[in-house]
Structure 1
Amino acid sequence: MSATTADAREVRRAVRATRVVFAANGGLFATWISRIPAVRDDLGADERGLGFALLFTAVGSLLAMPLSGRLVSAYGSRRVIAVCVVACMLAYPALGIVPSLVWLAVALLVVGAGVGVWDVAMNVSGHGVEERAGRTLMPGFHACWSLGSVAGAGLGALAARLGLGPAAHFTVTCAAVGAVTLFWLRALPDGRAAHDPADAAGERHVPEARRPVIRDMRLIGLGVMTFCAAWAEGSANDWLALLMADERDASGAEAALGFAVFSAAMTGARVAGNKVVASLGRVPTLRWGAVLSAVGVVLLLAVPSLAAAYVGALLWGLGIAIAFPLAMTAAGETPEQGPAAIAMVATIAYTGFLVGPPLIGTIAHSTGLGSALWLVVGLATGVLALSGTARRVQESASVRG
């Protein structure tokens, strides 16, 4: 077998492994989300207490994610993901047996930290696989996350229908998903760039001091762009079905279908994203996506028709889906600082995802939901304006004699 053939097989195996890791992350989280009503009922919690406990998922993620770049750089993405998988295999089943909301909050803090660091590490691995394959793959990896979440939610609904308790459901799911994920981890790239300070003649050079990623204006702009995209996506997750029910007189099933259209469009766009980026280029894809998303939201809000709302939801999902994956690719190209850059951009983005949609609700309390969601058009405009920050980095010489 030639070296080229062996390398190609190794890359294909790494691609499959990365898909598994993304799908597992989405599937486990959706498994928990699908059984929140059962856990609430077991604890006898009200909405206020449950909402306070759920907040600790975000707290765990936002506390841990800024550290994830250093962890990946020090230990490699394989080890970091392995630790996160094991932590989640223990924490998720605990959500089904906690005796009180206080312990639920503690378990969710661990889940949030594990999922957040896992998210950054798998994006670092995904970028490494892209580099080895020599083509854009990140949208497809994120499509696997979406497909995993659909599978997790579907199995959660089935478990609830069969009367399977959350503890047993979480334990069986975590054991199966964890075992498969840990098996495939062996095929992932390490995630640490190996920089040899010696040149071809054997002479060693002193690397130039690297600017902290927090002071990199390109990464700040990229983070803000992804913040806008994550806020726009989260706003649909939280408010689209409610808008259709309240302002388009949709039935419960019709409103749920609107969100299903948005979710299916997101997944489809990510599945097709690799080929679209290869054809149009990264920045034009982001720009067209931002325009498409803005048109969809305008159509949804300006035309008082249920059919127009469905088309608007479709365009909204198609347009916004590609921004986060391509931002991860762009951040990973930061010379010698890929893991730290991905961690920084992902943390900024998740802040938008977690904080933005509740702010929409606060505005809607004063103006109405239909008026508040016009803000999403502004967010799409932000993605359009900052899309140039995702342009490929041309790595220059970074050593001096």
Structure 2
Amino acid sequence: MHSQASEHSRFATRWTYGVLAIFTLMGLGFGSWLSRIPAVRDHLGASTLEMSVFGFVLATGSVLGLVLAGHTVSWLGPRRTLAIGVVVQLFAMPTATVFFWMGMVPPAVACLAIFGFVFGTSDVAMNVSGASAEQALGKPRMPLLHAGFSLGSVAATGIGALAEAGGIAVPVHLGIMYALITIGVFTALRFVPHGQATHAGAGADAGTAAGADAGAGSGSTPAVPTPPVKTRSPWRDPRVLAVGVIVMSMSLAEGTASDWLPLAFADGRGATNQYATLMLTVFFVSMTATRFAGSWLLHRFGRVPVLRVSAVLVLCGVAIVILVAAPWASVLGVVLWGMGASLGFPVGISAAADNPATATRDVAAVAAIAYTALLLGPMLIGFLGEYFGLLSAFWPLVAFAALAFVLARSAKEPAPPAQPAA
């Protein structure tokens, strides 16, 4: 029995690290595109409006993929969805840059839309698999997985800067990167089980009986399969919607900082471009560091306290950035803002996956809400900034953080199953 439990633990650990590698590689891929956007703009001689249209098309494709991902991932399973997704990305993104380099903008934009759709679908698949691995392991690991995505994105910007300095054309750079990413993802998928293996089923899916025996506790009662759940829409589930609002609030705080923080300091505080960019770096570092500590924090305190403290940190950080002009206060505000925005998304995904029978569609719904806020919400903040100034336009983030604080209890961990009487 002990050896079977050990085998189950080793399987769950390998699964977790496999998904961590996929998160990191997906971040590397998306960050590679972001790092070469200025080069694409220069090659095309495109205006800011034209580049915004390209970004909007990619974002729209992503949101559409997220909305339909519940059906797609339920049909194909997370592993097969990721395998197909990374192959389509391998062709869509490099092909888009080749079309851009040939001056063929319409087919390039179509490839961006395809990439966005597949990327959004793959994002849900890796989050579903990550949440299942977390449950099989019995320890919170979603913050670590999202930290991997952040690290991949940061690494991609460094590689992109080197490619720019070396004069490497964007199609060549992205072609090499996505070929390596595809190889890496297929290697990592060897550790990801087919289907939705969670808890006891994980070990059995790996081809051993360890998971089933481990799920039986002391061995007195065999594991009972989860009964089929009637078809229902997560969009009518109050808990899923409440978790979605929590994640939306934190994603809006993250996306707004990414898009507008440097410009807000430059325009609203008269800061230099170097100082404004440094503030964004401080934000990303504080967010990534907190995600690395997130698993320990969740294990020690639980979801609800972590989410409530995160909401308070966002509220205080944003308010300090808006109200206090002193440089030390700006740094403090940005650090608090980054720490607070870091854990809402991963904790919300874990909460959405609490019920294995409905996890795929619940995660897809929460992810769709989150990414819509992340991709489109900052545009609304920018619209407000046009009329009231960017710093004043940050006030809605405070209101959404307060709303996340109120709704945090919706993400509470499920009660452990009752033990049968002796």
State if a TM-score over 0.5 links the two structures: yes
- Paired residue for 1:268? 289
Say which of 99, 118, 124 aligns to 2:122: 118
Deviation sequence 1:85-112 (CA, Å, 0-9, x none):
1111111211321133312211110110
Work out the CA distance in 2 between the residues paired with 1:387 and 1:167: 44
Question: 1:191: how far off?
Answer: 4.3
- Paired residue for 1:346? 367
- Paired residue for 1:130? 134
Work out the CA distance in 2 between the residues paired with 1:341 and 1:322: 18
- Paired residue for 1:38? 39
Question: 1:243: how far off?
Answer: 1.2
* SS, match of residue 41 in structure 2: helix
Stretches of structure 1 that go unaligned for 5 or more consecutive residues are none
* SS, match of residue 97 in structure 1: helix
Work out the CA distance in 2 between the residues paired with 1:13 and 1:321: 25
Contact 2:66 / 2:124 at 8 angstroms: preserved in 1? yes
Contact 2:226 / 2:357 at 8 angstroms: preserved in 1? no
Question: 1:299: how far off?
Answer: 1.0
Say which of 164, 167, 173 aligns to 2:171: 167
User: Per the alignment, do residues 391 and 203 of structure 1 end up closer, same or farther by CA in structure 2, a change over 3 Å counting?
Assistant: closer
Say which of 392, 414, 419 aligns to 1:393: 414
Which residue identity does 1:128 align to in structure 2?
Answer: S
Say which of 298, 311, 330 aligns to 1:309: 330
Question: 1:264: how far off?
Answer: 0.4
Work out the CA distance in 2 between the residues paired with 1:202 and 1:251: 62
TM-score normalised by L of structure 1: 0.93
User: What does residue range 351-362 of structure 1 map to in structure 2 within 5 Å?
Assistant: 351-362=372-383
- Paired residue for 2:79? 78
- Paired residue for 2:182? 178
Contact 2:229 / 2:357 at 8 angstroms: preserved in 1? no
Q: Which runs of 4+ in 1 moved over 6 A?
A: 200-206
Work out the CA distance in 2 between the residues paired with 1:22 and 1:246: 35
Is the deviation greater in 381-390 or in 310-319?
381-390
* SS, match of residue 97 in structure 2: coil
- Paired residue for 2:91? 90
Matched, 1:27 2:28: yes
Work out the CA distance in 1 between the residues paired with 2:365 and 2:271: 40
Work out the CA distance in 2 between the residues paired with 1:344 and 1:323: 15
Which residue identity does 2:39 align to in structure 1?
Answer: A
Deviation sequence 1:306-362 (CA, Å, 0-9, x none):
221111000000011000000000001135100000000100111111221111111
Work out the CA distance in 1 between the residues paired with 2:352 and 2:370: 12
Contact 2:19 / 2:129 at 8 angstroms: preserved in 1? yes
- Paired residue for 2:217? none
TM-score normalised by L of structure 2: 0.89
Say which of 106, 109, 112 aligns to 2:113: 109
Work out the CA distance in 2 between the residues paired with 1:210 and 1:50: 41
Work out the CA distance in 2 between the residues paired with 1:297 and 1:79: 41
Contact 1:331 / 1:342 at 8 angstroms: preserved in 2? yes
Work out the CA distance in 1 between the residues paired with 2:95 and 2:225: 52
* SS, match of residue 45 in structure 1: coil
Question: 1:72: how far off?
Answer: 2.0
Work out the CA distance in 1 between the residues paired with 2:3 and 2:225: 33
Alignment length (residue pairs): 394
CA RMSD of superposed structures (Å):
2.2
Contact 1:244 / 1:306 at 8 angstroms: preserved in 2? no
Matched, 1:381 2:402: yes
Identity of counterpart residues, as a percentage? 37
Which residue identity does 1:114 align to in structure 2?
Answer: V
Question: 1:210: how far off?
Answer: 4.5
Work out the CA distance in 2 between the residues paired with 1:84 and 1:17: 16
User: Per the alignment, do residues 88 and 206 of structure 1 end up closer, same or farther by CA in structure 2, a change over 3 Å counting?
Assistant: closer
Contact 2:131 / 2:349 at 8 angstroms: preserved in 1? yes
Say which of 227, 251, 257 aligns to 1:230: 251
Say which of 193, 214, 237 aligns to 1:189: 193
- Paired residue for 1:285? 306
Is the deviation greater in 185-194 or in 267-276?
185-194
Which residue identity does 2:175 align to in structure 1?
Answer: T
User: Per the alignment, do residues 278 and 201 of structure 1 end up closer, same or farther by CA in structure 2, a change over 3 Å counting?
Assistant: closer
Say which of 156, 161, 165 aligns to 1:157: 161
- Paired residue for 1:294? 315
* SS, match of residue 95 in structure 1: helix
Question: 1:55: how far off?
Answer: 0.9
- Paired residue for 2:270? 249
Work out the CA distance in 2 between the residues paired with 1:299 and 1:220: 30
- Paired residue for 1:53? 54
User: Per the alignment, do residues 206 and 91 of structure 1 end up closer, same or farther by CA in structure 2, a change over 3 Å counting?
Assistant: closer
Is the deviation greater in 38-47 or in 217-226?
38-47
User: Per the alignment, do residues 201 and 243 of structure 1 end up closer, same or farther by CA in structure 2, a change over 3 Å counting?
Assistant: closer
Work out the CA distance in 1 between the residues paired with 2:348 and 2:225: 34
Deviation sequence 1:116-143 (CA, Å, 0-9, x none):
0111000001011111110100000000
Which residue identity does 1:378 align to in structure 2?
Answer: A
Question: 1:222: how far off?
Answer: 1.0
User: Per the alignment, do residues 224 and 206 of structure 1 end up closer, same or farther by CA in structure 2, a change over 3 Å counting?
Assistant: closer
Question: 1:190: how far off?
Answer: 2.9
User: Per the alignment, do residues 13 and 378 of structure 1 end up closer, same or farther by CA in structure 2, a change over 3 Å counting?
Assistant: same
Question: 1:202: how far off?
Answer: 12
